[in-house]
Structure 1
Amino acid sequence: MRIRAPFWAPPLMAVQFLTRVPVPWLARLDSARANDAFVRSTGWLPLVGSGIGCVTAILFTVGQMWWPPLLALLVALAVEAWLTGAFHEDAVADFCDAFGGVRDAEATRRIMKDSRIGSYGTLGLGLALALRVAATLAVPGAVGIYAIVAAAGIARWCAVLLMAMAPPAATGGGVAKDIGRLPRRSFWLAAVTVLPAFTLLAATGRWTASIVLVVIAGMLVRIARGVRRRIGGSTGDCLGFAAYAGQVVVLLVVAGA
């Protein structure tokens, strides 16, 4: 019989997973229940992501009372990076180094495990951050605030979708391996918890949400095919890259709408 964690554990595990926020209640769980909570936490990732986006949006808004928009946004992103431990930024750098610099599976896996950053990782992360900043600043007023929150929630949903599309590589490790195959309930729960993000996104333009869905679908299909072909499935860095890429896509679509 499978040991299940209490109902409150998965959402709190999602908070602990995506942020530095202390969650002392999780210490009450034994290892079996903690593992179950971790696997089931995937369904809550979009909602926690939207919460992170709210923090960034509030800091950006308040910061503009003292600084120009660019400086306020950089301060907000710096605080966000501290809050999340630069979780997805690290994944972007590792993914770009691994998939940009080599072609064989063994070297790809070895580079993703290496804590050092190379030229592909530096360039990839720099361009991704620059696109995020430029796209955010290109969206004026309240629409920009909605876009920040929506992008953060949809970004984490992209990671959940990639889990479903590209199960963990057999020889991989890390987060993807710990979660294993995405539970069906978590997949559908994530589809529910991302709805607040899509509601905000719909407020930014009539066709924005539809365009985002089409672009994200194409992006994730391409990423899933690539990681399955190269290393046999996804890893934690692949999921983090998909999340950050999804966030940039949302902001770019809103900026161009």
Structure 2
Amino acid sequence: MMRAAATAIQFLTRLPVPGGAATAEDFSREIRRALLLFPLVGAGIGALTALALALADLVLPFALAVILALVIEARLTGALHEDALADLCDGLGGGRTPEDVLRILKDSRIGAFGALGLGFGVALRAGGLMAMPDPAQAMIVLVVSGALGRLLMLVVMAAVPPVPGRDGLGASVAPSASWKGVGLAALLAAPALLLGAFADARAMAVALALGGAFLLWYRALLRRRLGGSTGDAIGAAGYVGIVLATLAFAMER
């Protein structure tokens, strides 16, 4: 499990991993167990972002502290989910057929749809955090949303098979996901999820409901527009899950 934890950290962050980065062979061997730790690692990312927010709030107005904390998080994760969200928005916005969408997803350049999608996503998340009644609540939401976002990634992996015949990280990782794994991952991340329920049970229920509704819509969208899931589609789902959880707590303040 220590190797699996290192693989999960290597996948989701830019933090140095003890012993160095896993080789391709090690990665493929450990990724199934590493997936179980994604929500827990997501909660850890949220906790580090919350720490950055707490420190920034000591010297900056709360709104600026939120923005600085999100900047630090993007550096911590290598903007993994933000990049995926921008790519997916470009593909869905600019492609008419599944082939067009997949072709655009391979293009590393960002277009108008990607810029708008990413900008709106970050703005919604920042605005939701700024709407919290106090910094402590925002810190809790960062931890909870970090776990829920990565849990939604696993749910999408289990619910939507990869695009047939497509190479890439999504195609190599997604087949390792299963509904049993989703349940185990939720169990391992239970402390973070219970923290959200303790802080605001109604908001936590709303966050779960929004995540379920999004999954039903997203599953149909990916099958219709792409023919399955891709790495970008999975990564974008993680960011959407973070945003939805944040907005759920903002609505219940």
**TM-score of Structure 1 vs Structure 2, range by shorter chain:** over 0.9
> What are the superposed Cα offsets for residues 142-198 of structure 1, whole Å, 9 maximum, x if unpaired?
222111110011100010000011011113332221114214553232121231221
Distance (Å, rounded) in 1 between the aligned partners of 2:114 and 2:64: 25
> What are the superposed Cα offsets for residues 194-219 of structure 1, whole Å, 9 maximum, x if unpaired?
31221121123231222111110010
Distance (Å, rounded) in 1 between the aligned partners of 2:249 and 2:54: 18
Match of 1:220 in 2: 215
Task: Name which of 149, 152, 160 aligns with 2:154.
Answer: 160
Give me the CA root mean square deviation: 1.6
The answer to whether the 8 A contact 2:155-2:179 is kept is no
Write out aligned runs for 1:1-257 (5 A): 7-25=1-19, 31-141=24-134, 142-181=136-175, 182-183=177-178, 185-257=180-252
> What are the superposed Cα offsets for residues 85-120 of structure 1, whole Å, 9 maximum, x if unpaired?
000000010010101222201110011110001110
Q: How many residues align?
A: 250
For structure 2, list consecutive stretches of 5 or more residues without a partner in the other structure.
Answer: none
The answer to whether the 8 A contact 2:204-2:249 is kept is no
Shift of 1:34: 3.1
The answer to whether the 8 A contact 2:158-2:174 is kept is no
Distance (Å, rounded) in 1 between the aligned partners of 2:169 and 2:191: 26
Residue identity opposite 1:149 in structure 2: V
Q: Percent identity?
A: 38
Residue identity opposite 1:176 in structure 2: G
Distance (Å, rounded) in 2 between the aligned partners of 1:221 and 1:149: 25
SS at match of 2:201: coil
SS at match of 1:203: helix
Distance (Å, rounded) in 2 between the aligned partners of 1:11 and 1:91: 23
Residue identity opposite 2:100 in structure 1: A
Shift of 1:17: 0.5
> What are the superposed Cα offsets for residues 51-85 of structure 1, whole Å, 9 maximum, x if unpaired?
00001111111111111111111111111111110
Shift of 1:19: 0.7
The answer to whether the 8 A contact 1:87-1:240 is kept is yes
Structure 1 length normalisation: TM-score? Answer: 0.92
Structure 2 length normalisation: TM-score? Answer: 0.93
Shift of 1:41: 0.9
Distance (Å, rounded) in 2 between the aligned partners of 1:241 and 1:54: 21
Distance (Å, rounded) in 1 between the aligned partners of 2:66 and 2:224: 38
Distance (Å, rounded) in 2 between the aligned partners of 1:119 and 1:230: 19
Shift of 1:30: 6.5
The answer to whether the 8 A contact 1:135-1:251 is kept is yes
Distance (Å, rounded) in 2 between the aligned partners of 1:249 and 1:195: 19
